A = this chain, B = another copy of it.
Amino acid sequence: MKIRTSFASDNNSGVHPEALQAICAANDGHTIAYGNDPYTETAIEKLKEHFGKSIDAYFVFAGTAANVLGLRQAADTFHSVLCADSAHIYVDECGAPEQYIGCKLLPIHSRDGKVSVEGIQKHLHGIGFEHHSQPRVVSITQATEYGTVYSPEEIKTIADFVHERDMVLHMDGARLSNAAASLGVNLRQTSADVGVDILSFGGTKNGLMFGECILFFNKKLSQHFKYIRKQGMQLYSKMRYIAAQYISFLTDDLWLRNARHANEMALLLAEEVEKIPKIIITQKVQANAVFAIVPAEAIPLLQKKYFFYVWNEKTSEVRWMTSFDTQEEDVRDFVDFMRQIVK
């Protein structure tokens, strides 16, 4: 099924023309493979402009890999990684962290996708006791899987708590751009500057074709990572084609323009949907997701025309995502259709 637009996921969208143009422009003769090329060099420089000079940055193919290989640097097999029970690493990676790292993942129950210090604390027992996986990493998602956004202060609070216990803070930033756009801050103000140690910085959900970036703000944690990336089946031979995308992403605020637009479309969708009496918005709309409870009988009717995911069958809660290429018209058409269906 070819579809014009959907509210299923931001990775159903295509590639922003500027990113595609960058890929095409990089297709010029030979370069050395595996990242030893001028495009990658420039992309790393761009990353340093945005995240600070002391970073260590590595490109990989995909977001799951960015999370897993990044976490692998902080967590040994006998460690545990604490995360929200809705975290991508916990529910959407088919057990890749456990398989690849060999560590334990411990879920923290959360209604809005955010981890709290209290939630972390519940898992902090058995320290030094060899029968117990040792808590080592807290992983947070920014923006969360529920489209909510941590304030910089919230992150700082978690980071301080974590660091006082000699633990590491990991951030799944598949939608970091959307969070920063929502907060009105730059990329480092919601990551490096507030205590994140390891960041998965995503582009694919925000208008790039492929390729994600792992950033280490604590260089002790990036030791030997080049071997891990290769062994982890994530060293791309023709690296320039990821690098070129990131150069465009971090030039003239493409990351921000794309994210801001997606966020605005989500807000518009939420505002319009709220006017429909039988639909209840269930989460704060802070990024590019709208969660809503819809009359159960309406869902299949809506899905006949628009593809999207049911988040919770029991409560008939659904998720709608917007993206860089969602048009205002698409949103209005969708809401109009919804209004007809849900009466």
Of A77, A93, A134, chain B has the most CB atoms within 10 Å of the CB of: A77
| A61 contacts B by Cβ under 8 Å | yes
A329 to B94, CA, bound (A): 50
Q: Is the CB of A98 within 8 A of B94?
A: no
Prevailing SS type, chain A contact patch:
loop
Of B77, B92, B233, which is within 8 A of A131 by CB?
A: B92
Which one, A20-28, A175-183, A186-194, is touching chain B? A20-28
Identical chains bound together, number: 4
Interface mask (A2-37 → B, CB under 8 Å = 1, otherwise 0):
111110110111110000100110111111111001
Say yes or no: A94-B130 contact (C-beta < 8 A), given A4-B30, A68-B233, A237-B62: yes
Q: Give the chain B neighbours of A28 by CB distance below 8 A.
A: 14
| A238 contacts B by Cβ under 8 Å | yes
Residue positions of A touching B, CB distance < 8 A: 1-6, 8-9, 11-15, 20, 23-24, 26-34, 37-38, 61-65, 68-69, 76-80, 91-96, 98-100, 102-105, 107, 125-126, 130-134, 204-205, 209-210, 224, 226-238, 241, 307, 313, 325
A-B contact pairs, 13 of them (CB 8 A): A1-B38, A2-B31, A8-B33, A9-B33, A11-B238, A12-B31, A64-B235, A77-B99, A94-B133, A98-B103, A98-B105, A130-B229, A210-B241
